[in-house]
Amino acid sequence: MLLACAASEVPVDDTAPAHPDLPEHSSCPGDEALTDEVCLAVVEEDGRYPTYSVNRSYNPEVEDDPRLEDPDYIWLEEQIRDCTCTCCHRTAFGGPGVYLWDLDYEPVWIDSMSSWSMRTFVGETDEAAQTLPVEDVERFLSVIEAERQYRRDH
Ligand code: HEC
């Protein structure tokens, strides 16, 4: 009788890690999977210190920046939010990668990314781990090309 009761008690495993399933560095599980909690855990696991962002584009700050309304730029931002990249590249999460680009940089986040880093971002350098995995590569390249043109014009 006593033994039967004992066997039905489920032991509590308090040695289990709090976040057993952190997403991979370059995966895109979707923004619903990348909750604040998950992103904070990614940053904690990474262990590097938070940084801060600056304007690395030399684009001037203009009123009602047209890029904020541009569907292609909006699309790109949504793509990034689906990927683990967003965790380390947002000031809101204390991300260690923020000093090279910051999705929270205002008014236009891409101004925090240098033209050199944009090359890595689209896969023109050897740093595959820092290239954004998108499904629509053509659209991705055309947004970056538009940004390069914007930089030349400003
Ligand atoms: C675990 C944290 C972390 C994640 C996740 C992360 N990054 Fe980064 N990223 C950094 C840090 C830190 C740097 C600063 C440079 C370095 O240490 O390599 C950086 C730098 C970069 C750079 C600038 C490279 C250069 O040399 O100018 C690019 C581009 C970049 N990341 C893209 C991405 C993309 C795309 C993803 C997702 C596929 C991503 N990162 C995911 C932390 C991260």
pLDDT digits (tens, 9 = 90+) for 98-121: 999 999 999 999 999 999 999 999
15-36 tens-digit pLDDT: 655 566 899 999 999 999 999 9
Taking residues 124-132, what's their average pLDDT?
Answer: 93
Q: What is the percent of the chain with per-residue pLDDT over 90, rounded to a whole number?
A: 84
**Which of 88, 98, 101, 124 to probe ligand 1 with, by most ligand atoms within 8 A of CB?**
88
Nearest CA to ligand 1 atom 26: 117
Pocket flag, ligand 1, residue 119 (CB < 6 Å): no
- The alpha carbon of 97 and the centre of ligand 1 are apart by a number of angstroms equal to 5
What gap in Å lies between CA 99 and CA 54, rounded to an integer? 7
59-84 tens-digit pLDDT: 999 999 999 999 999 999 999 999 99
Q: For residue 2, what pLDDT band results from cuts at 50, 70 and 90?
A: very low
Tokens of 82: 């689906």
List the domain boundaries for the chain: 25-153
- The alpha carbon of 33 and the centre of ligand 1 are apart by a number of angstroms equal to 20
* H-helix segments, 25-114: 36-46, 71-81, 85-88
> How large is the greatest C-alpha to C-alpha distance in the chain, in angstroms?
83
